Chains A and B, each alone.
Chain A
């Protein structure tokens, strides 16, 4: 068997940028803010500071699209995902899913919509209940939402989901600790699919896996996207994986969105100095290319979100910063069709 034959077929992510741009907007996030109070005192609790985890971000996701959300720890990307899932009630802003603002709905009204929005978590070791068999883990959402009330039908559906996710049906009776990390992550994916969702938030879904297993799970996510017409919000810090999987990419820094563009445009022509620094920091697996690349590292560390810098939040670390950057918050503007950036100096 030659290598060429062995390669699975495939091309660029299905659904080119144009066809997706014409599609319906599935999720519209407008000026989302999530502030967490920092309190002191036990009897007389008082707020001493506010962490602006997400500070006024807006984006849209169209049906069938995969939007990558990247940034370093503490930039607010996971909080954004949790707000969309309504696991946090945002401080302000709108999250419009299929025409309804999720922030306005009460728990009862939310329930039918929760079925359509699912999540795959990062850590396959802590996101599965160790006391439940994996088959029951996958069946539980159906039971809770009253889909497939018949136990036999539910069982058949679990078997189907296991095989869709590349798990042997024999594993239905196993506990999570009897499985490897990659297999557990597949169980997490099967659970997310069990309610036939339209939209899945993948929060660092492949970060904890070894390279060879990671590639298997990435391919599975792609296959499922095509088979079930899924829309993903792909939250990750690995920029290489995001380039491979996403149609558009948004970059966050300290609770703000600093750049948003089509995938190849962002990687080939990054405009924000932070995006450039991020891309330059990722080593490429080819020593010949690495020998020629410039290795300029960005100075300093991410400041505390409790006390963010004035003006542009990136200015203390920015190589392009001028005096006005410390005073004026840069506007998030469209510099080219579809390419948004929050920087005045680029």
Chain B
């Protein structure tokens, strides 16, 4: 399958009074047609910034994409003019944000927010866009769509608002949807409804999905491929099965050991990762995970490990990958 999005050595930095924050520090990955790719990591690891960089939504100042390439269907995203990127945003790459409460405009009706995109990008007239808006709301499972068009976001529940966001994202039939923590603010039963809906639509319409999340269960259920991020870098990359069954980076292993399991009786205490995530303005010379890593050796504090192949399609950035592979797998 052909890659529709290729990101190469992307670097996004924020220039603050406290110093330069290397929020995204040289990440490379691709997304194929109709595929679901997950980006996993904890708060502040750069996962959202990497997504905003794709749409050129980084506030400048203080932030800027300082290096790398983003190629989307033959377009060099970083070289496009403002007018050109506006034709991509929402039209060919759509975004679903985390907070359905704050990312809809509270003073415009649901209908207006949906038709605005249609009129702007597809040049539809008022009537055609209204009809299409009704169709879209029906598609994402909102009952009585005709009446909803005249309602405001505060009339809707959190789950409904998130459905409206998805309807807006789908409205121009984009080739790629980026969903940034699409269900974090929602209850579990609603989370399941929304994610099943997104998967259905992506399979049926062939839309590629990038899901950004910290929920390892969601990744296991929905992702084809997984990028694990830590301190602005991708530290492990592979298929979902590879990442969960043969974790090859101590951080991935630590994350998997940190989550209690719903499907098993409790066996022992959790095995957390000790310490705190690093301050991105003060990273040392070596691997950013080294201060928290129980496998660290001297070399880890001196040189940054590159991503190297573990098996086909599976890469990891750890100096001790080969020595520790077996032990880590036994432990998981």
CA–CA, A192 to B327, complex, Å?
Answer: 40
Contact B263 A289 (CB under 8 A): yes
CA–CA, A181 to B191, complex, Å?
Answer: 25
* Per-residue contact bits, chain A 4-31, to B (CB 8 Å; 1 contact, 0 not): 1011111111000000000000000000
Known: A210-B214, A215-B272. Is A3-B330 also a contact (CB below 8 A)?
A: yes
Contact A215 B220 (CB under 8 A): no
Contact A12 B216 (CB under 8 A): no
Which residues of chain B from 232 to 264 have a CB within 8 Å of any chain A CB? 240-241, 244-245, 254-263
A26 to chain B, nearest CB (A): 23
Contact A180 B188 (CB under 8 A): no
Interface residues of A (CB under 8 A from B): 1-4, 6-13, 72-73, 180-183, 210-216, 218-219, 222, 237, 239-241, 243-245, 263-264, 267-268, 277-290, 293, 295, 297-298, 301-302
Question: At the interface, yes or no: B269 with Cβ under 8 Å from chain A?
Answer: yes
Contact B258 A215 (CB under 8 A): yes
CA–CA, A317 to B212, complex, Å?
Answer: 30
For B159, what are the chain A residues with a Cβ–Cβ distance below 8 Å? 301
- A-B pair count, CB < 8 Å, reads 164
Q: Specify which of A1, A9, A288, A290 is in contact with B245 (CB 8 Å cutoff).
A: A288
Contact A244 B270 (CB under 8 A): yes
Q: Specify which of B192, B244, B254 is in contact with A285 (CB 8 Å cutoff).
A: B244
Question: At the interface, yes or no: B328 with Cβ under 8 Å from chain A?
Answer: yes
CA–CA, A222 to B272, complex, Å?
Answer: 13
Contact B261 A219 (CB under 8 A): no
10 A-B contacts, Cβ less than 8 Å apart? A181-B43, A211-B42, A211-B216, A215-B258, A285-B219, A285-B220, A286-B263, A295-B192, A297-B192, A301-B160
Question: At the interface, yes or no: B193 with Cβ under 8 Å from chain A?
Answer: yes
For B272, what are the chain A residues with a Cβ–Cβ distance below 8 Å? 212-216, 218-219
Interface residues of B (CB under 8 A from A): 42-43, 157, 159-160, 187-193, 196, 214-223, 240-241, 244-245, 254-263, 265-274, 276-277, 294, 327-328, 330-331
Known: A212-B255, A240-B261. Is A281-B273 also a contact (CB below 8 A)?
A: no
CA–CA, A6 to B328, complex, Å?
Answer: 12
Contact B327 A2 (CB under 8 A): yes
Quick one: closest A residue to B294, CB to CB?
A: A6
A288 to chain B, nearest CB (A): 7
Among B221, B244, B267: residue with most chain A CB under 10 A: B221
Contact B261 A290 (CB under 8 A): no
Contact A237 B263 (CB under 8 A): no
B281 to chain A, nearest CB (A): 15
For A295, what are the chain B residues with a Cβ–Cβ distance below 8 Å? 192, 196, 221
For A283, what are the chain B residues with a Cβ–Cβ distance below 8 Å? 192, 215, 217-218, 220-222
A22 to chain B, nearest CB (A): 22
Contact A72 B188 (CB under 8 A): yes
Given A3-B331, A282-B188, A284-B262, 6 other A-B residues pairs in contact with their CB atoms under 8 A:
A213-B276, A240-B260, A286-B263, A289-B263, A295-B221, A301-B157
B314 to chain A, nearest CB (A): 14
Q: Specify which of B215, B241, B274, B327 is in contact with A3 (CB 8 Å cutoff).
A: B327
State the 9 A-B residue pairs at the shortest beta-carbon distance, nearest first: A10-B269, A283-B217, A215-B272, A244-B260, A3-B331, A215-B258, A281-B192, A72-B187, A212-B273
CA–CA, A284 to B262, complex, Å?
Answer: 7
Quick one: closest A residue to B269, CB to CB?
A: A10
A30 to chain B, nearest CB (A): 28
A163 to chain B, nearest CB (A): 16
CA–CA, A219 to B274, complex, Å?
Answer: 11
Contact A279 B262 (CB under 8 A): yes
CA–CA, A24 to B89, complex, Å?
Answer: 63
CA–CA, A15 to B268, complex, Å?
Answer: 14
Among B240, B261, B269: residue with most chain A CB under 10 A: B269
CA–CA, A13 to B270, complex, Å?
Answer: 12
For B193, what are the chain A residues with a Cβ–Cβ distance below 8 Å? 297-298
Contact A212 B42 (CB under 8 A): yes
For B255, what are the chain A residues with a Cβ–Cβ distance below 8 Å? 211-212
CA–CA, A235 to B240, complex, Å?
Answer: 32
For A281, what are the chain B residues with a Cβ–Cβ distance below 8 Å? 188-189, 191-192
For A3, what are the chain B residues with a Cβ–Cβ distance below 8 Å? 327-328, 330-331
CA–CA, A225 to B222, complex, Å?
Answer: 37
Among A10, A237, A244: residue with most chain B CB under 10 A: A244
Quick one: closest A residue to B190, CB to CB?
A: A301
CA–CA, A250 to B240, complex, Å?
Answer: 34
For B221, what are the chain A residues with a Cβ–Cβ distance below 8 Å? 283-284, 287, 290, 293, 295
Contact B217 A282 (CB under 8 A): yes
Quick one: closest A residue to B241, CB to CB?
A: A287
B174 to chain A, nearest CB (A): 25
Contact A222 B220 (CB under 8 A): no
Contact B157 A264 (CB under 8 A): no
For A245, what are the chain B residues with a Cβ–Cβ distance below 8 Å? 260
For B189, what are the chain A residues with a Cβ–Cβ distance below 8 Å? 72, 277-278, 281, 297-298
A165 to chain B, nearest CB (A): 15
For B157, what are the chain A residues with a Cβ–Cβ distance below 8 Å? 301
For A214, what are the chain B residues with a Cβ–Cβ distance below 8 Å? 258, 272
Known: A210-B42, A297-B196. Is A290-B187 also a contact (CB below 8 A)?
A: no
Known: A3-B330, A12-B266. Is A285-B217 also a contact (CB below 8 A)?
A: yes
Contact A243 B266 (CB under 8 A): yes
Contact B265 A264 (CB under 8 A): yes
Known: A8-B271, A282-B188. Is A1-B259 also a contact (CB below 8 A)?
A: no
Known: A2-B327, A210-B43. Is A222-B216 also a contact (CB below 8 A)?
A: no
For B191, what are the chain A residues with a Cβ–Cβ distance below 8 Å? 281
Contact B261 A285 (CB under 8 A): yes
A284 to chain B, nearest CB (A): 5
Q: Specify which of A1, A210, A239 is in contact with B188 (CB 8 Å cutoff).
A: A239
